[in-house]
Amino acid sequence: MKILQIAGLTKRYGNITAVNNLNLEIESGSVFGILGPNGSGKTTTLGTVLGIIKADSGNFTWFDGKYGNQERMHIGALLETPNFYPYLSPVKNLEITAHIKRCSEPEIDRILEIVNLAQRRDSAFSTFSYGMKQRLAIAAALVGNPEVLIFDEPTNGLDPQGIAEVREIIQRIAGEGKTIIMASHILDEVEKVCSHVAIIKRGNLLASGEVGAILSNDRQVDIAAEDLGRLRELLANFPGVNSIKEKGKRLQLQVSQTMTATALNKLAFDNGLILSHLAMKPKSLESEFLEITAGK
């Protein structure tokens, strides 16, 4: 089932086009990352599909129109940290959230377990760390058991431990079969958490699909020898070497997945070269992102 279909969505602020003719489809059960640098149109896109921002043109449809104008009742969102009462506990704050959402059975105890706040259920919100406050914000989005969760930069401002905790929570929520749409400028987060990704820059969609499909199957190799020019000549015609870039005193290769370190070592040795450096690693989303957005 298509959870969200976006067609030709455009939003301008004066002479600035924040979102430009955006077309996207998001399937049920996916963890969909909207990836792009700050100012790329991610938050505007989320605000528009939530009905907070009015588009200049284009349209979007939630749940194939299944819920009519009640679609918002089935979506939980965290666009910015909500205002909680500092002197109240997480339980009391979530009870207020449930009242606002008209939710008669908010399952607060279960939600606090999901976000790892059960042991602090009776503590005042004012005593919470920033990471705990962010987890309570996620808990508020979970009230009402929505089918879709929307998070805008959910790990922004968190320390490494806080980032790991939020990542684990998102994965736990996704494991329950919910669809998650997450905007982020943090490449590593999208690569580790998301099943699908859309890359946006200056309001334009540059690529979208499964993370594994957006990522190249190539592997990256850093390689060096004393005679770098001769090594480059050998590699230029070697099967499986798809590209070569010179990085200081090393060569950076993009090679097929079948390429092995043994084959590269043998090539050099058979031609009288001794490698001084050889490191192989999968191509990262970061390098792919930089290639996709270069010059755009």
> In terms of domains, do 32 and 112 share one?
yes
Looking at the predicted structure, is the pLDDT value of residue 284 above 80? Answer: no
Distance CA(277)–CA(260), nearest Å, equals 14
Is a pLDDT exceeding 90 seen at residue 89? yes
Query: Nearest CA to 11 among 181, 202, 158?
Result: 202
Which residues, listed in sequence order, are joined to residue 219 by a DSSP beta bridge?
A: 255, 282
Q: What is the pLDDT of residues 31-82, one digit of tens each?
A: 999 998 888 999 999 999 999 999 999 999 999 989 888 899 999 999 877 7
Q: Is the pLDDT of residue 289 over 80?
A: no
Per the CB < 8 A criterion, the answer to whether 89 and 125 are in contact is: yes
Name the residue range of residue 150's domain. Answer: 2-214
Residues 27 and 174 in one domain: yes
Are residues 201 and 226 located together in one domain of the fold? Answer: no
Q: Where does the pLDDT of residue 293 fall: very low under 50, low under 70, confident under 90, or very high at 90 and above? A: low
Q: How confident is the model at residue 112 (pLDDT cuts 50, 70, 90)?
A: very high
Q: pLDDT grade, residue 104 (50/70/90)? A: confident
Any idea which residue has 């594994």 for tokens? 212
Q: Return d(Cα 95, Cα 103) in angstroms, integer.
A: 9
CA distance 195 to 75: 19
In this prediction, residue 4 has a pLDDT band, given cuts at 50, 70 and 90, of very high
Please determine, for residue 294, whether its predicted confidence score (pLDDT) is greater than 80: no
Residues 98 and 202 reside in one and the same domain: yes
For residues 81 and 56, give the distance between their C-alpha atoms in angstroms, rounded to a whole number: 27
Going by pLDDT thresholds of 50, 70 and 90, the confidence category of residue 11 is: very high
| 218 φ, ψ (degrees, to nearest 5) | -65, 155
| Angle in degrees, 0-180, between the axes of helices 130-142 and 90-100, rounded to the nearest 10 | 30
- Based on the fold, state whether residues 202 and 113 are members of the same structural domain: yes
What CATH code is carried by the domain that includes residue 206?
3.40.50.300
Do 156 and 62 fall into the same domain? yes
Q: How confident is the model at residue 207 (pLDDT cuts 50, 70, 90)?
A: confident
Asked which of 167, 199, 214 is the last residue of a domain, the reply is 214
Same domain, 198 and 90: yes
Return the number of other C-beta atoms located less than 10 Å from residue 169's C-beta: 19
Instruction: Say whether both 238 and 196 belong to one domain.
Output: no
Instruction: Identify the CA nearest to 167 among candidates 191, 193, 134.
Output: 193
- Output the pLDDT for position 44: 95
User: pLDDT digit string (tens) for 210-254?
Assistant: 887 776 667 789 999 999 999 999 999 899 998 898 888 899 888
125 band by pLDDT with thresholds 50, 70 and 90: very high
pLDDT tens digits along 140-179: 999 999 999 999 999 888 888 989 999 999 999 999 999 9
Number of structural domains found in the chain: 2
Contacts for 77 with CB less than 8 Å, ≥ 6 apart? 46, 50, 141, 149, 150, 151
Distant-in-sequence, close-in-space partners of 280: CB < 8 Å, separation ≥ 6: 219, 220, 221, 255, 259, 261
Q: How far apart are CA 57 and CA 75, in angstroms?
A: 23
Closest to 23 (Cα-Cα) out of 52, 61, 51: 61
Q: Tokens in use for 196?
A: 């699908």
List the CATH number of the domain containing 257.
3.30.70.100
Instruction: Output the CA–CA distances (angstroms, integers) from residue 151 to 138, 221, 236, 246, in the order listed.
Output: 8, 35, 45, 39
46, 139: one domain: yes
> Do residues 210 and 239 share a domain?
no
pLDDT at 18 (0 to 100): 95
H/E stretch holding 49 reads helix 42-49
Q: Quick one: pLDDT at residue 234?
A: 92
Domain boundary among the residues 214, 249, 274 is at 214
pLDDT for 144 equals 93
What lies within 8 Å, CB to CB, of 141 at 6+ separation is: 76, 77, 78, 149, 150, 151
Residues 256, 142 share a domain: no
pLDDT score for 256: 84
C-alpha to C-alpha distance for 140 and 78, rounded to whole angstroms: 8
User: Tokens 């401002």 map to which residue?
Assistant: 157
210 and 224 inside one domain:
no
Residue that terminates a domain, selected from 161, 188, 214: 214
pLDDT in tens, 249-283: 899 888 887 888 999 999 999 999 999 999 887 66
